[in-house]
Amino acid sequence: MKILVCISKVPDTTTKINFKENNTKFSEENVQWILNPTDEWYALVRALELKEKLGGTVTVVHVGKPDSDPIIRKALAIGADDAVRIDAEPADSYFAGAQIAEYARGKAYDIIFTGKETINYNGFMTGGVVAESLDLPFVSLAMSLEMEGSAATIKREIEGGKEVVKVNTPFVVSATKGLAEPRIPNMRGIMAAKTKPFAVAQPAAGSQFTFIKSYELPAQKQSVKLVKSDNVAELVELLHNEAKII
Amino acid sequence: MSVLVFAESAEGKFRKSAREAVSYASKVARKLGKETIALALGTIDASELSGLGKFGATKVLHASDPRFDKFDSGAFTKAIAQAAQKINAEVIVLSFSNNGKALGPRLSARLKAGIVPGVNSLPETGGEFVVKKSVFSGKGFANFVINTPVKILSLSPNSMPVEQTEQTAAVEPFSVEITDKDFGVQVVGVEKESQGVPLPEAEVVVSGGRGLKGPENWGMIEDLAKILGAATACSRAVSDVHWRPHHEHVGQTGLTIRPNLYIAVGISGAIQHLAGVNGSKYIVVINNDPEAPFFKYADYGVVGDAFDVVPKLNEALKKYFASNN
């Protein structure tokens, strides 16, 4: 199995979000950057499990500048064999996906994994852009994936249940909860990551279709109305008369 | 020039998110002074097709090829792209559903059209084409500008009210040039997990956290959900220890939902959980810890033991519905 895993860099899940320059830029002050959770926990780990069972290689690919190197090293420490950083700011999600597709083109990857979404822009974009650019089948929101020869059986999340699908390699798949259990890098992995192959690739000519003009924070809630626990009928009353929701 | 909306169906009927998308598309079309044309794929009841007129479609293109009864993002993308080219679509509207999330990026790459995935309001169309979407999993919003001639918007479920009219739509057969090879993904089965409303589409959601102490205590949560016609959800902690299935996990690394009413029981309200639910119109928090951060983000709260409060709430709601129906 020759596997490529797309990884992204995002603010840590506990980050308080702030904007600057008249709300036109995301403030990176005090932001801790992490590997995007679904990329790390599910896509990368399932790729490694397949490699351990069937042999082959797992390469991680990332679109970003040198400040992304720590998260790429983490992916190597968890167990990827080698890494490629495409040296460009990911201008928008189409740009990033198309860069990965151009990098992967002609390299005969059997499976290209991504996480279902990044937790910064929540677009669910990368897998679909890569698949369409390379004219490959795409299975999104995979909760389990089993290989038999070149055929994969995947359960994907649909509204109210799961859909069972079959697809042959090569294909693109996006990962969600259930696909694997997160792995924590151990000391040996962290040491090994320092000497694993890590290439920096020049970006292909790319297009940007969208840009962010401004940001807003959600409106503050009015202070909570508390109801006594021995008078929950009052809550029902409020939901009916005030919120008009029941 | 027109606005094309892909109306997603399942088992011969349009999904709720499809009706929302058609209604949204017709509002966009009205702003632009264009026609709203819907695309439907696969076997769908005739009354359903013309019924899209009620939600604002003037015409429905229907490709009845039964191969479209099963979803493949590549084949569906080709079909939508062909329809968009046929009618010279300026804006394409999709649902930000599980399938729509796979279609948007493919369609964007195929048509070289900019997309804003997961919008929750109408675009500004005066000068630049600007549309708002939630980012950082609900911790903020970003105003995106799309600068390609064709623009794609996918609409978050439950974010726009559906408007109904008396109109019926003209249904026109549409033939898609497609081969079996385009269906690279074969659907071989479906495993249904919940009987009621799917969580992403639910208008009322009842959610439980660690405060419930164990999976055996979810009966009262399910009762509450049943009384309200709600879907059930849970915190990450609960789904990580397998008290509840993964698909119920809401929060930053799970689902982001925007119901009209979100009732959180025994969930403290960590920032990662809030991110997934703070688009809810009303939030009710039941927690025995008056210091739980969730109360700061709630509209209504009850400080008390869930095992005491929830059964009482269930009784009060039953009484309310019995006297109001």
Chain A contact present for B135, CB below 8 A: yes
Q: Which of B73, B94, B114 is nearest to B155 (CA)?
A: B94
pLDDT tens track for A20-54 = 999 999 999 999 999 999 999 999 999 999 999 99
Torsion sign (Cα): B203, A164, B45, B179: positive
**Contacts B185 to A, Cβ<8 Å:** 137-139, 165-167, 171
pLDDT band at A244 (very low <50, low <70, confident <90, very high): very high
Nearest CB to A94 within list B108, B261, B296: B108
**Contacts A214 to B, Cβ<8 Å:** 142-143
pLDDT tens track for A174-213 = 999 999 999 999 999 999 999 999 999 999 999 999 999 9
Strand, coil or helix: A32 = coil
Question: Which percentage of chain B shows pLDDT scores above 90?
Answer: 94
How high is the pLDDT of residue A203? 98
From the CA atom positions of chain B, what is the Rg in Å? Answer: 21
pLDDT tens track for B288-316 = 999 999 999 999 999 999 999 999 999 99
Strand, coil or helix: A73 = helix
Asked whether the beta carbons of residue B303 and residue A161 sit closer than 8 angstroms, the reply is no
Asked whether the beta carbons of residue A217 and residue B106 sit closer than 8 angstroms, the reply is no
The rounded mean pLDDT for chain B is 96
Distance from CA of B177 to the nearest CA of A (A): 16
Burial B111-127 (b: 16+ CB within 10 A, else e): bebbbbbbbbeebeeee
Q: Strand A210-216 to strand B231-234: parallel, antiparallel, or no bridges (unpaired)?
A: unpaired
Question: Cα A6 to the chain's mean position, in Å?
Answer: 8
Asked whether the beta carbons of residue B71 and residue A163 sit closer than 8 angstroms, the reply is yes
pLDDT tens track for A5-19 = 999 999 999 999 999
**Contacts B272 to A, Cβ<8 Å:** 13-14
Chain A contact present for B170, CB below 8 A: no
Question: Which percentage of chain A shows pLDDT scores above 70?
Answer: 100
Element (H, E) at B285: strand B282-287
DSSP character at residue B62: E
Distance from CA of A135 to the nearest CA of B (A): 8
Distance from CA of B198 to the nearest CA of A (A): 5
Q: What is the mean pLDDT of residues A52-71?
A: 98
Asked whether the beta carbons of residue B115 and residue A210 sit closer than 8 angstroms, the reply is yes
Nearest CB to B134 within list A122, A162, A230: A122
Element (H, E) at B36: strand B35-41
pLDDT band at B324 (very low <50, low <70, confident <90, very high): confident
Asked whether the beta carbons of residue A218 and residue B246 sit closer than 8 angstroms, the reply is no
DSSP character at residue B249: B
pLDDT tens track for B74-103 = 999 999 999 999 999 999 999 999 999 999
Distance from CA of A207 to the nearest CA of B (A): 9
Task: Find, in chain B, the residue whose alpha carbon is nearest to that of A209.
Answer: B114
Q: Which of A168, A124, A128, A127 is nearest to A148 (CA)?
A: A168
Q: At what angle do helices B98-111 and A126-134 cross, to 10 degrees?
A: 50
Asked whether the beta carbons of residue A177 and residue B101 sit closer than 8 angstroms, the reply is no
**Contacts B106 to A, Cβ<8 Å:** 128-129, 131-132, 138
Asked whether the beta carbons of residue B147 and residue A211 sit closer than 8 angstroms, the reply is yes
Q: Is the pLDDT of residue B325 over 70?
A: no
ipTM given for this complex: 0.96
Nearest CB to B261 within list A131, A143, A245: A245
Chain A contact present for B142, CB below 8 A: yes
Sequence-separated (6 or more) residues with CB below 8 Å from residue A30: none
Q: Is the pLDDT of residue B196 over 80?
A: no
Q: Is the pLDDT of residue B40 over 90?
A: yes
For residue B156, the cross-strand partners are none
How high is the pLDDT of residue B47? 92
Q: Which of B77, B146, B151 is nearest to B107 (CA)?
A: B77
Determine the length of chain B.
325
DSSP A120-181: TT----HHHHHHHHHT--EEEEEEEEEEETTEEEEEEEETTEEEEEEEESSEEEEE-TTS--
Asked whether the beta carbons of residue B300 and residue A215 sit closer than 8 angstroms, the reply is no
Q: Is the pLDDT of residue B194 over 80?
A: no
Asked whether the beta carbons of residue A19 and residue B184 sit closer than 8 angstroms, the reply is no
Q: Is the pLDDT of residue B66 over 80?
A: yes
What is d(CA B249, CA A80) in angstroms, rounded to the nearest whole number? 28
Task: Find, in chain B, the residue whose alpha carbon is nearest to that of A170.
Answer: B184
Q: Is the pLDDT of residue B195 over 80?
A: no
Asked whether the beta carbons of residue A125 and residue B142 sit closer than 8 angstroms, the reply is no
Asked whether the beta carbons of residue B104 and residue A125 sit closer than 8 angstroms, the reply is yes
Strand, coil or helix: B193 = coil
Element (H, E) at A241: none
Q: Say which residue, B262 or B163, is predicted with more confidence.
A: B262
**Contacts A239 to B, Cβ<8 Å:** 261, 282, 284, 300
**By the 8 A CB rule, do B92 and B80 touch?**
yes
Sheet of A225-227, strand order: A225-227, B300-303, B282-287, B261-265, B204-208, B231-234
Chain A to chain B Cβ contacts (< 8 Å)? 295
Nearest CB to B143 within list A174, A213, A243: A213
Distance from CA of A187 to the nearest CA of B (A): 25
Torsion sign (Cα): A75, B139, B145, B34: positive
**Contacts A127 to B, Cβ<8 Å:** 102, 105
Q: Is the pLDDT of residue B137 over 90?
A: no
The rounded mean pLDDT for chain A is 97
Nearest CB to A122 within list B135, B305, B320: B135
pLDDT tens track for B270-283 = 999 999 999 999 99
Task: Find, in chain B, the residue whose alpha carbon is nearest to that of A126.
Answer: B105
Minimum mean pLDDT range among A114-123, B97-106, B132-141: B132-141
Which of A125, A159, A217 to substitute to test the interface with B, most B CBs within 10 Å? Answer: A159
Q: Is the pLDDT of residue B178 over 70?
A: yes
Chain A contact present for B98, CB below 8 A: yes
